[in-house]
């Protein structure tokens, strides 16, 4: 079974600091990688997509992909209290666009 | 431009009953995917509909079935409900194999 691992426990960061989230995946055929943000009691919201090795920046968010290491990460710069949420890593399975998700990492930004 | 909509918002059923959940995709999207999210877990892929046919299916029993209508809206049916079916059911829409955007979800509680 294809797996997406997000092993870090809840992450507490002070306001203005950088939050760093990591994700590993087992399916070498995966082509597309996503980060979703999910506020408590709400549905996931797409915040980043990345398809090739390297970094992709969008505002305060940077996604990093390393296909050789099967590793994708998300950096949140200048963290704000509104960034407090669970962040879900998702990858496409095989040649399909069905998404496999990790369990998520909770981020708490402390004012 | 309306986003993905789902109904109902919340639903309470008893074991053995049947339930139907509904989803209308984002305007311009033609593909609907359904996911189940248990508390504290990432979403799990149930199945995907395109051109009124089930194109992909995850590891869910036949009690879970669906349908897509000519207007691209979709239904998820679950028969013989079990306590373990209690979860947030998410619908995601996309244009073919493109980015998936989630609706607000339906919270199902099975007593």
pLDDT band of residue B55 (cuts 50, 70, 90) is very high
Torsion of CA B38, B41, B43, B45, to 10 degrees: -80
pLDDT of residue B89: 98
- The pLDDT value given to residue A9: 80
Tokens of A84: 């407090």
- Cβ separation of A43 and B33 shorter than 8 Å? no
**CB distance A97–B45 less than 8 Å?**
no
C-alpha to C-alpha distance for A20 and A62, rounded to whole angstroms: 10
Left if phi > 0, otherwise alpha if psi is -120 to 50, otherwise beta: which for B28?
left
* Nearest-CA distance B74 → chain A (Å): 17
Task: Give yes or no for residue A27 having a pLDDT over 60.
Answer: yes
Q: For the ranges A48-62, A89-103, B45-59, which has the lowest average pLDDT?
A: A89-103
Distance from CA of B33 to the nearest CA of A (A): 8
B43: nearest CA partner in chain A = A101
């Amino acid at each position: 079974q294809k797996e997406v691992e997000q092993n870090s426990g809840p992450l507490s960061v002070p306001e203005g600091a950088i939050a760093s989230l990591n994700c590993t995946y087992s399916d070498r055929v995966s082509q597309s990688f996503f980060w979703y943000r999910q506020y408590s009691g709400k549905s996931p919201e797409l915040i980043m997509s990345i398809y090739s090795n390297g970094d992709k920046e969008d505002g305060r968010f940077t996604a990093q992909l390393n296909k050789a290491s099967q590793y994708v990460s998300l950096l949140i710069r200048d963290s704000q209290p509104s960034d407090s949420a669970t962040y879900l890593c998702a990858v496409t399975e095989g040649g399909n666009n069905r998404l496999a998700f990790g369990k998520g990492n909770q981020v708490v930004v402390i004012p | 431009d309306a986003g993905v909509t789902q109904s109902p918002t919340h639903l309470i059923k008893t074991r053995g009953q049947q339930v139907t959940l509904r989803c209308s995709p984002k305007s311009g999207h033609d593909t609907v995917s359904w996911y189940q999210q248990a508390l504290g877990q990432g979403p799990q892929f149930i199945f995907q509909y395109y051109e009124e046919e089930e194109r992909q299916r995850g590891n869910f029993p036949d009690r879970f079935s669906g349908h897509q209508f000519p207007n691209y809206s979709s239904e998820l049916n679950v028969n013989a409900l079990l306590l373990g079916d209690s979860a947030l059911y998410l619908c995601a829409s996309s244009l073919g194999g493109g980015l998936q955007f989630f609706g607000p979800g339906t919270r199902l509680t099975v007593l």
